[in-house]
Amino acid sequence: MTVAAPAMAASATRETGSGRLQLEALTKRFHGRTGLVTAVDQVDLDVQPGEFITLLGPSGCGKTTTLRMVAGFEDASGGRIMLDGKDIDNLPPQRRPMAMVFQSYALFPHLSVAENIAYGLKLQRKRKDEISAAMRMAVTSMNLVGLEDRSPHELSGGQQQRVALARALVVQPKVLLFDEPLSNLDAKLRNAMRAEIRRIQKMFGITSMYVTHDQDEAMSMSDRIVVMNKGKVEQVATPGEIYARPASVFVADFIGRANFLEAVPERVSGGMATVTVLDRQITVPAHPKVTTGTQGALMVRPENARLVPVTNGGTGIGVVLRSTFHGPNIDYEVETTGGTVTVTEPGVDPREALGEGVNVNVTFDPLRAYLLTRD
C-alpha cells in the first residue's frame, strides 16, 4: 500500500484554498483575584491554507488560551474566528472541522491502536469499509504497521504520539491544532517527532496551528511564528525574519541569545543608523521606529561576534571573564566598555581557548547587527 492518497488530498486542499483561518481582534477576559484579567488581547491573525503556524511565548502569554478558543473549548470575550470566510464562533467543538493533538495524547486505554484511530470516523457514522480503508492508510502513513492490535500502555511515548496524530488526521480536518504535543518526550525523540509531524503535515497539506514555549521547535517546524507576550502579538514572521530582524527587544531576547549594546543613533536614513559602540562608529540596519537621538539597543547575536586577542601589552576594549567549552563551539563572557558581552566561536581544542584575563577586542559585521528601540 502506498501513501499517494494523502499527497493527492494535500494538492486538492491547496487548489481549493480550504482551511484559511482568520482571527480578528480575538480577546479573552476572565475574573481573577484582583479583578478582570485580559489573557488574550485583540489578536489578529490570518493563517493561509496549508500553512504551519506556531504560537510561541513564555508561560501565561495567552498562546494556549488562543488555541482553545479556536478549538471551541473556550468562549471568546470579543472578536471573531472565521474559517474559509465563515464565522464559527457559535459552533461547538464537535461541529468545527478541526482536530487537536494534546500534550497528554488522550488515548483511550481500553481501545486498541486501530480502535483509537478509527474512533472519530465511527462518530461520523462512516461505513465500515471507509473506516477500514482510512485506518489502514493512517497506520501506514504514521509507521504504525504491526501495532494495530496493541493497547496504548504497550506503546512507547513516540508511538503513542503517532497514534494521537493518526487519530486526528484520519477525520480529514480542515485545521489541525497542536497543544505542546512533544513536551512529554525526551530530547532525542522530540527532535525526531518534530521532523515527523512536519513531514506528515506537508504531505496532507492541512492548515496547522502549533503551541509551544520551545523556541527550537518553533524555529525548525514553522512557516511563520507568532510571538506572544502578555496576551498580545509582538511579531508574526518567518523564523529567519524573527531571528535576524526582531520587532522588539523582547522578541530578540526570547528567540535565541542576544547581546544588547546601548546605542544612540547619530543619523538615521533609509533603514540604516549610524551609532558608536565599543569605541567604534558603524552604520547598522535599524528598526523603522528608530529615530535620531533616542536611546536604542543594538542587537548582536553571539555567533556573529569574534574576539581578537590584543598583543604586545595592549589593553583592548575587553577582558575575558570565562570560557565554556560545548564541543561544537566555545562561549566567552567578555567584560567590555559597553558591558558584558557573550561571544560564541567555533569549537577548538579547549586547551587552546582564550583564558581568563586575556585582553581582547570584540568585532562583528555591522550588517548582521540590528538596532532596536528600547521596549
Q: What residue ranges define each of the domains in the chain, with the CATH number in brackets? A: 4-97+173-244 (3.40.50.300), 257-373 (2.40.50.140)
Q: What is the pLDDT of residue 119?
A: 87
pLDDT over 50 at 284, yes or no: yes
pLDDT of 2 over the 70 cut: no
Q: What are phi and psi of 198, to 5 degrees?
A: -65, -40
270 φψ region: left (φ > 0), alpha (ψ -120 to 50), beta (else) = left
Residue 25 has pLDDT above 60, yes or no: yes
Q: What is the pLDDT of residue 203?
A: 85
28-37, 64-73, 95-104, 345-354: the lowest-pLDDT one? 345-354
For strands 78-83 and 21-32, give the pairing: antiparallel
Q: What is the model's pLDDT at position 7?
A: 37
Q: Write down the pLDDT at residue 143.
A: 81
- The three cell numbers locating residue 329: 563551539
Q: What is the pLDDT of residue 347?
A: 78
Closest CA to 26 of 74, 62, 77, 61: 77
* Cα–Cα dist 362/371, whole Å: 18
Flag the least confident range among 37-41, 43-47, 139-143, 273-277.
Answer: 139-143
Q: So what's the pLDDT on residue 192?
A: 83
Mean pLDDT score of the chain: 89
pLDDT beyond 60 at 11: no
- The DSSP bridge pattern shows strands 175-179 and 98-101 to be parallel
Helix (H, G, I), strand (E, B) or coil at 135: helix
Q: Name the pTM for this structure.
A: 0.88
Rounded CA-CA distance 50/17 in Å is 8
For the cut 50, the answer to whether the pLDDT of residue 226 exceeds it is yes
Are 234 and 227 in contact by the 8 Å Cβ rule? The answer is: yes
Please count the other Cβ atoms lying within 10 Å of the Cβ belonging to residue 274: 18
Which pLDDT belongs to residue 17?
59
pLDDT-wise least confident of 96-100, 137-141, 246-250, 322-326? 137-141
Give yes or no for residue 132 having a pLDDT over 90: no
Task: Provide the grid cell at 336.
Answer: 567590555
